[in-house]
A and B are shown apart, each in its own frame.
Chain A
Amino acid sequence: MGENIVGSLKKKWLPVYGVLAAATGVLLVGLMYLYAKTGANDYSMAAMVDSLFLLYILWSIYKLAKLEFKPRKVVTLVRCEKCGYSEERDYARGDYLFKVKGQCPKCGAPLLVAGIYVKEAGEEEPDFTPLPLPTGLATFITTFSGLKRGD
């Protein structure tokens, strides 16, 4: 997943979940208060159901917060063919294999591009699985809000 989609998912869902969690939390406190006051079993049952909801929402928040974008940086590996000195540099547009990129700091021979690859930070493939959002609602929002994913 790109950086933007993770960011926009968080921006979109954290407030929604936050409000839901707050509402269920307040409800739970209210129900417990009523139960303590009246001792009616109905209230304790409702409180139990409500706390299940709360747990689910908290779990979703946890999943969402854990979701992070692992930056994958493209690097250019330059190597001196004479003495074997090598160094990773940031990829610059126009780099290609065996291109001469300056001089070897050790022996002065030309430095050649030996490879261009992605430095693996997290070693993980991007996660493509949609979030465990409530049925229907998730679809509706992802479809109609048009999350902007750039690059």
Chain B
Amino acid sequence: MDGTTYDLIVTMIVLMLFAYLSRELEVMRAISEIEGYLALFKQSRDTAFQALLRSLGRFSSLDRKMVEEKASQLIEIAVIFPVNLDPYGIVEKIRHVLRVEEKEVEEEVSSIASRGNRVDVQNLTNLVEAVRALNYLYKLVNHYYLIARKFKSLWLILQLNALLPFLSEEFKALEGAVKAFKNGLPIGDSAGPYVAAKLARILGAKRRYEPVPDTEVFYAEMGGRRIYLAKAKGPGGTVGRLDEALEWITGRDDVSLIVSVDAALKLEGEETGLISHGFGVAMGGVGVERFRIEEIATKKKIPLYAVLIKMSEWEASSIMGEKVYKAADKAVEVVKQVLEHKVKPGTAAVVLGVGNTIGVP
């Protein structure tokens, strides 16, 4: 072997070594990034839990340890969705499970925070839900991270790494929610109920009903039109039962239009506060209520009109921003115009202010 061959072999080996090293470095970078995010997620979860403890403690006559114990139980609650192998009638089943969970958690919260009033309990229940979501999300990410490490799987690590930006959006949104619920301040999602409440005030609502729990219906007249405005009953954090309220309204009066107003997720690059029109029911969540509303509307052939206020996920669940507020104010006028143009005098229409009514009485 002469010198040239020897050099060639060495060069090849060095090149291969570099290729190997660069991949290892890439994995190490991905892992360290995941670990960095995980540490932040954990911290975010812990901070939120401490905030929950403080909030619960303020209204509780139990001692600190007891509160902590009960709170940690609350944030570990799981909701098991019904089997969907045979989807017939599944919506009612989901509604049943959710209603039971909602009631039980609220009762548990009110037993811990025994000195708080109804509004406090509702806000605390919302807070519990946000912390629970944070807790679950953190554990899930941690689970995938540990699995990826356990099997030393490059692809699992890279997949998790690629998901991090989306996950941190989620965490940001929940962190914002914790801050808002803790103080009982309106969030971006409250834009829907805000529009309904404001409209009720502008139109000089004559009557106010509470046909179903946590939900209120205002009756107003506008140029000979009978307008029913339904929203969750504030200022405690709740989304109410708009489907049942609508059922009640359609049972009383002949409705010729249903307008739903809700915060809608904007696409990245879209302006916050953009108001767009649509057909159908503007409503998030699991879809149980939307299903009912669509069913009622279809059965009675009532047109469904939607007014959407665009915002990001973070804006929807954090304290209402100025842009969202201004958009909601504008949406009040938009809904008014829709009612003027699409509802003939002498007929009735329903406006649904969809969303969490926290901070909006």
Contacts and interface: CB of A to CB of B under 8 A. Distances in A.
Contact of A98 (B171, B314, B320, B361): B361
Contacts, number: 89
Contacts of A147: 43
B93 interface: no
B39 A117 contact: no
Contacts of A93: 183
B194 interface: yes
A52 B235 CA distance: 58
Contacts of B322: 117-120
Contacts of A130: 33, 36-37, 39-40
Interface string A99-123: 0000000000000000111111000
A129 B32 contact: no
A128 B166 CA distance: 11
B29 interface: yes
Contacts of B40: 128, 130, 142
Nearest to B164: A129
A104 to B, nearest CB: 17
B28 to A, nearest CB: 6
A97 B359 contact: yes
B306 interface: no
Given A128-B168, A130-B37, A117 B325 contact: yes
Given A126-B172, A129-B168, A151-B47, A135 B361 contact: no
B185 A116 contact: yes
Contact of A128 (B172, B183, B329, B359): B172
A19 interface: no
B194 A97 contact: yes
A93 B120 CA distance: 13
A143 B320 contact: no
B237 interface: no
A138 B330 CA distance: 46
B7 to A, nearest CB: 21
Contacts of B360: 96-97
Nearest to A121: B322
B197 A120 contact: no
Contacts of A116: 185-186, 320, 359
Interface string B314-326: 1100111111110
Interface residues of A, number: 31
A142 B38 CA distance: 10
Contact of A143 (B39, B186, B314, B318): B39
A151 B127 CA distance: 15
B244 to A, nearest CB: 24
B196 to A, nearest CB: 12
B320 A139 contact: no
B359 A96 contact: yes
Given A97-B197, A125-B314, A118 B321 contact: yes
Nearest to A136: B32
Residue from the set B172, B186, B194, B322 with the largest chain A CB neighbour count within 10 Å? B322
Given A74-B185, A143-B39, A115 B359 contact: no
B319 A151 contact: no
Given A97-B361, A130-B37, A151-B179, A120 B321 contact: yes
A118 B39 CA distance: 28
Contacts of B336: none
A67 to B, nearest CB: 14
B361 A138 contact: no
A149 interface: yes
B329 A97 contact: no
Contacts of B312: 125
Contacts of A91: 185
B361 A96 contact: yes
A117 B235 contact: no
A133 B320 CA distance: 34
Contacts of B51: 151
19 contacts: A97-B194, A97-B197, A97-B235, A97-B360, A98-B361, A115-B329, A116-B359, A117-B322, A120-B322, A128-B172, A129-B168, A130-B33, A130-B39, A130-B40, A135-B29, A142-B36, A142-B39, A143-B35, A150-B47
The 7 closest A-B pairs by CB, nearest first: A130-B36, A139-B35, A117-B325, A142-B39, A135-B32, A117-B320, A128-B168
Interface of A: 72, 74, 77, 91, 93, 96-98, 115-120, 125-126, 128-130, 133, 135-136, 138-139, 142-143, 146-147, 149-151
